Amino acid sequence: MAGFPDITPVHAERATQWLSQSNVRPTRQRVTLAALLMGDGRDRHVTAETLFEAASAADGKVSLATVYNTLRAFCDAGLLREIVVDGAKSYFDTDLCDHPHFFWEDSAELTDAPRESLDIRNLPAAPEGTHVVAVDVVLRLRRS
């Protein structure tokens, strides 16, 4: 459930660059959140709530509203990908490529599914005047 890295100076530095490169102003709050998300370079799935808790535990001083706004800003800047699975929460994924996800119905958790194998052919064509922004593939899991 936890799985967020500590915020080391190195992580903060990396986070700052990540933001600057996408023209997102690296404020203190955004650097904190960015460092938690990608400080160690690993892929992560977060909700506003989990990230807020991690930030509060780490250095505090980020309001929940800012977490929401920041996640949205990161998404708009192309730093994150929003994955919508359950009616209630939105998940944000640091891995930008299309890849399948497992959604665990009992715990409402979202995890990566092995992507190597998946092979989707003959994807329906986008209707006239539109293009496909993303292909969400979610495997809903239930306890056997």
Partner DNA sequence: CTAGTTGCAAAGTATTTGCAATTCA
Partner DNA sequence: TGAATTGCAAATACTTTGCAACTAG
Is 88 a binder of DNA (CB under 7 A)? Answer: yes
Q: How far apart are CA 23 and CA 21, in angstroms?
A: 6
| Residue in 15, 35, 73, 85 binding DNA, rule: CB under 7 A | 73
Q: Which of residues 31-70 bind DNA (CB under 7 A)?
A: 47-49, 61-66, 68-70
Residue 98, Cβ density class (10 Å: 0-12 exposed, 13-18 middle, ≥19 buried): middle
Ordered DSSP codes for 28-95? HHHHHHHHHHHTT----EE-HHHHHHHHHHHT----HHHHHHHHHHHHHTTS-EEEE-SSS-EEEES-
CB of 135 to DNA, least distance (A): 21
By C-beta, is 87 or 127 nearer to DNA?
Answer: 87
* Alpha-carbon gap, residue 41 to 10, rounded angstroms: 12
Q: Closest CB to DNA among 11 and 83?
A: 83
Task: Encode 41-58: b = buried (16+ Cβ within 10 Å), e = exposed.
Answer: eeebbbbbebbbbbbeeb
28 makes contact, choosing from DNA, a copy of itself, none, with CB < 5 to 8 Å by partner type, with DNA
Binding site for a copy of itself (CB under 8 A): 84-90, 100, 102, 104-105, 113-115, 117-124, 126-127, 129-144
Out of 28, 42, 115, 140, the only residue in the binding site for DNA (CB under 7 A) is 28
- C-beta of 21 vs 27, nearer to DNA: 27
Q: Which of 10, 108 has the CB closer to a copy of itself?
A: 108
Q: What residues make contact with DNA under the rule CB under 7 A?
A: 20, 24-30, 47-49, 61-66, 68-70, 72-73, 87-90
